[in-house]
Chains A and B, each alone.
Chain A
Amino acid sequence: MAQEHNLAIFRGKLKFKDNQSKIWGVFILLSIVTAIEVGLGMLRPEALIHTKWFSFIPILEMTPLTFIFILLTIVKAYYITWDFMHMRDEVKFLRRIIVWSAVFYIIYFVVLVLLEGQYMYDVLTNGFIKFDF
């Protein structure tokens, strides 16, 4: 059990002296990210919700705020998996088997299903089908 822990985060820029202090460091990081999310969620700055980015790409037409939220979520997911679930300490190919497969399937599902959702929106909004009687 007594395995070695990799005690550096941010690609080695921030090193901790032992495992406990690394855990608290990651906790502080996650708390800051959550606080930013909650702050933005409460304020909803006009500049970030009244424009849309990437309106020429089908499912990526979203407000900047949505992009920020998704990005921060992925940051949180990374640190939970890497430091709390000790993915950082596992063998490289155990990491790849789990993470690459999951990421591949998730992107695949998200793209397929959201494209379908947008198609349904277009057909039922601009088509000649009446669904509200």
Chain B
Amino acid sequence: MEATVVKTGTEGKTWGGANKPLKASYGKLMLWIFLFSDSLTFTGFLVSYGLTRFRFADSWPIADEVFNHVPFFHSIEEPMIFVAFMTFLLIFSSVTMVLAVDAGARMKQKMVTLYLFLTLCGGLTFISSQAFEWSTFIKGGYGAIETKGGNILQFVDTEGERVSIHDFALADNSEREVHAKNKGLWYVGEPSTPTEVSFNQVKEGFLANDNILVRVQDKDEYGEHIILSREDSKAKFLEEGSLVVEGANLIHNEYGHRLFANYFFFITGFHGFHVSIGIMLLFTVFFNTIVGTYEKRKSYEMVEKVGLYWHFVDLVWVFVFTFFYLV
């Protein structure tokens, strides 16, 4: 090495690197720069979500109606409860993380181990909660009909309460034609996950029940979805209805506008990816703390750096929480 390094003659002087104007180590500074650029990535996601909300301001789904499931309590439908729990969880794991950093600054190995363990538990619970959220979102609840134009028709009774398409669909004995290559598009196969009820069953059930109305994506001036009269409902369904949607994927979702599910998957997915990376980093420093690597190094700065990343994940969640669930 010695031979390849050109000596500048300024070693130990200001221009030789002796001066540390920002009084932070290289690793910490670079982590801050990374977090800055990562925050712009999340900004990109969230502003494009904002663009779509502005563009579809009068037909965007209402988040309170979508995210209202609580694990272990199947009968109640309360918006906000579960996501509030997730937010508290992440803030609390941030607190244990910053306590771990503080204990590290005072070189208390046992305390760091304990607090890192609590932080890890918080992170794992959060990611499991997100898995629950995703699975209920993908599975769906009430089901809906998609129109030819890609709009979603949902069903309500005369009081305005949502009705599941599975409750009113009638048995239908007509045979379903299997898609063959010589009929229609040759490059399209059979749908991989057929829906539980067919379009004809929903149609028969809808026509037989006079108290079921159609609720469209468009909203009135108070931000509530418009419910059509029975005649309009019938006309809308028969003229435009084209397929049954249950749950959500990247192409169709029963909650409303198609892009709603896409943004949900991408933004919470990207955040969940960050949480997963954070859990791996936390596990690494947890392990290193137990075996005493940082005691030998006489510095717990690595815990501090992982802590910075973990707080950033919390910071992003604060914004996702506001713009996805509250606004």
Contact = CB atoms under 8 A, between A and B. Distances in A.
Interface of A: 1-3, 19-20, 23-24, 27, 30-31, 34, 37-38, 40-42, 49-50, 59, 66, 69-70, 72-73, 76-77, 80-81, 83-86, 90-91, 93-94, 97-98, 101-102, 105-106, 109-110, 113-114, 116-118, 120-121, 124-125, 131-133
Given A93-B22, A94-B32, A105-B40, A31 B91 contact: yes
A41 B80 contact: yes
A23 B79 contact: no
B326 A49 contact: no
A28 to B, nearest CB: 10
Contacts of B87: 34, 38
Determine which residue in B47, B57, B300, B314 has the highest number of CB atoms from chain A within 10 A of its CB, and name it: B47
A92 B319 CA distance: 25
Interface residues of B, number: 66
Interface stretch (B11-19, B145-153, B199-207): B145-153
Contacts of B32: 94, 98
B209 interface: no
Contact of B150 (A23, A94, A124, A132): A132
Contact of A106 (B24, B39, B58, B321): B39
Nearest to A30: B91
Given A84-B98, A113-B48, A73 B40 contact: no
B229 interface: no
Nearest to A83: B98
Interface of B: 21-24, 29, 32-33, 35-36, 39-40, 43-44, 47-48, 50-58, 64, 78-80, 84, 87-88, 91-92, 94-95, 97-99, 101-102, 104-106, 148-151, 222-223, 299-301, 304, 307-308, 311-312, 314-315, 318-319, 321-322, 325-327
Main SS class of interface, A = helix
Contacts of B51: 113-114, 116-117, 120
Given A101-B36, A106-B43, A118-B55, 7 more contacts: A3-B105, A20-B102, A34-B88, A38-B80, A41-B79, A41-B80, A42-B78
Contact of A41 (B29, B314, B326): B326
A121 B149 contact: no
A125 B300 CA distance: 57
Given A27-B92, A73-B322, A77-B315, A91 B21 contact: yes
Contact of A121 (B48, B57, B101): B57
A90 B149 CA distance: 55
B23 A91 contact: yes
26 contacts: A19-B102, A23-B102, A37-B322, A37-B326, A38-B80, A41-B80, A42-B78, A49-B223, A66-B327, A72-B322, A73-B318, A76-B318, A77-B318, A80-B315, A84-B311, A98-B33, A98-B36, A105-B40, A109-B40, A109-B44, A109-B47, A113-B50, A116-B51, A117-B50, A124-B55, A132-B150
A132 B151 contact: yes
Contacts of A109: 40, 43-44, 47
Contacts of A114: 47, 50-51, 54
Given A41-B325, A69-B327, A34 B43 contact: no
Nearest to A58: B54
A1 B29 CA distance: 14
A2 B300 CA distance: 10
A133 B148 contact: yes
A69 B326 contact: yes
B182 to A, nearest CB: 27
B20 to A, nearest CB: 9
Nearest to A105: B40
Contacts of A120: 51, 54-55
A102 B40 contact: yes
A110 B22 contact: no
A68 B66 CA distance: 22
Contacts of A37: 321-322, 326
A3 B23 CA distance: 10
B308 A85 contact: yes
Nearest to B56: A121
Nearest to A101: B36
